[in-house]
Amino acid sequence: MGNYSIETNCVQGGYKPKNGEPRILPIYQSTTYKYDSSEHLGDLFDLKVPGHMYSRISNPTLECVENKIAQLEGGVGATLTTSGQAANLLAILNITSCGQNFVSLSSIYGGTINLFAVTLKRMGIEVRFATPEMTDEEVDALFDENTRLMFGETIANPALKVLDIERYAKLAHRHGVPLLVDNTFATPILCRPIEFGADIVIHSTTKYMDGHAAVVGGVIVDSGKFDWTKGKFPEMTEPDESYHGISYTESFKNAAYITKVRVQLIRDFGVAPSAINAFLLNLGLETLHVRMERHCENALKVAKFLESSDKITWVNYPMLESSAERKLAEKYMPGGCCGVISFGIKGGRSAAVKFMDSLKLAAIVVHVADARTSVLHPASTTHRQLTDEQLVDAGISADLIRMSVGIENADDIISDIKQALNEVE
Ligand SMILES: *Cc1c(COP(=O)(O)O)cnc(C)c1O
């Protein structure tokens, strides 16, 4: 589907039925696959021939969805995981071991901060946080010879900082390491980080890609552009004992990284999603382009309304004229900045709670980025485990309300906000 536009690939990419085959992607509900000879199966185990052998490693339904997502992001391959957390974990473990470190932007998702600062630390992997305000020299100083990668989010959840992808790609490449970008909020419809120099792209597919709050999932996409053979990544170039000594870069060339994620880490950690979950994700992907357009349109209307209300102290939406992120947003996401907005209410924490409890259409949920409008108070929920200092670094104030604007009628969403604001003293 190489010559079609991204909208067409959302609908029809990844699966191409042959004569007489099912029109829509079948659910291959099978743990295992049959072969005519033990020799063929042996070759599969040695990765000498392509094919499926066991659904913890690969499955035909998953493969079609992986190919679609790789196509949407402009990568050479993708691997689905059971969650966004698993995707970020494996994306890092694939090239980072005990005693090594990596640099990450500090304004990222709370769950990712936990993973990086607590769990990976216990495994002997150190994260070094860079704030968006740091100069290039200050970020440079965080790297040393044991630094393996740099990490950031295209649109940070929930601070809504826009990542200057080109800038951080340059910084990472200057130190001989790849830039990993979590593109969950933007989706490839709004931004394709690989086009700006990102090497690996990660998603929590739980959010817009699924889009209906039905299935938790994640995906890792490999751009195929990073050169692993310069001596810094022996795990990519040296023999893997668990596969009769193959070298990933020799055997799989520019798909070395993503092949290793699958055949080594998905195999060993066992975080392969089920076929039916991949099927459901694919249904979401089929309408991703249409939904993102409406999310962006509605969010801008809601953000402008909030900005005009005297009960609101501040509004953060990168597409607003008033936003400090506007320039970066226009460069990286000219089509819009997803459906997520953050804002503060006069009266602080207690007013925020009263406002949220008074909403009728918008629901209080932990989730974001699905078809239904929802709200959340991160400081008391998703980010409550962070220290005050970490909250500030993540760009979150105590009064911050995060609203994920859905694809309902925009006037209905705004009316609901109006009536809830009237309930606040
Ligand atoms: C939700 C989210 C994650 C974690 O994904 P799960 O699917 O919940 O495990 C990672 N990164 C970002 C930006 C997210 O919004």
Instruction: Locate the DSSP E strands across 241-339.
Output: 312-316
Protein residues whose CB sits closer than 6 Å to any atom of ligand 1: 83-85, 109, 111-112, 153, 157, 182, 184, 204, 206-207, 216, 218
At 206 the pLDDT is 98
At 338 the pLDDT is 97
Distance CA 291, CA 288 (A): 5
At 2 the pLDDT is 57
Among 233, 237, 254, which Cα is nearest to 246's? 237
Counting ligand 1 atoms within 8 A of each CB, the residue from 157, 185, 216, 340 with the most, and so the one to mutate, is: 157
Beta bridge partners of 101: 126, 147
- Pinpoint the alpha helices (H) of 59-148: 60-73, 84-93, 110-114, 120-122, 136-140
Distance CA 351, CA 269 (A): 44
At 381 the pLDDT is 80
Handedness of CA 295, 297, 298, 300 (dihedral sign): positive
For ligand 1, atom 7, name the residue with the nearest CA. 84
Ligand 1: nearest atom to the Cα of 369:
15
Cα 215 to middle of ligand 1, angstroms: 12
At 230 the pLDDT is 96
Q: What is the pTM of this model?
A: 0.96
Give phi and psi for 195, each to the nearest 5.
Answer: -65, -20
Ligand 1: nearest atom to the Cα of 153:
13
3-state secondary structure of 168: helix
First to last CA, the chain: 56
For ligand 1, atom 5, name the residue with the nearest CA. 84
* Residue ranges, the chain, pLDDT below 50: none
At 366 the pLDDT is 87
Counting ligand 1 atoms within 8 A of each CB, the residue from 109, 271, 337 with the most, and so the one to mutate, is: 109
At 140 the pLDDT is 98
Cα 220 to middle of ligand 1, angstroms: 12
Q: Is 358 exposed, middle or buried (0-12, 13-18, 19+ CB in 10 A)?
A: middle
CB atoms within 10 A of CB 208: 28
Counting ligand 1 atoms within 8 A of each CB, the residue from 89, 92, 163, 204 with the most, and so the one to mutate, is: 204
At 131 the pLDDT is 94
Give phi and psi for 234, each to the nearest 5.
Answer: -60, -30
Distance CA 181, CA 88 (A): 10
User: Would you state the structure tokens that stand for residue 85, as one six-digit string?
Assistant: 């957390």
For ligand 1, atom 6, name the residue with the nearest CA. 84
Cα 418 to middle of ligand 1, angstroms: 30
Tell me the residue type at 274: S
At 377 the pLDDT is 85
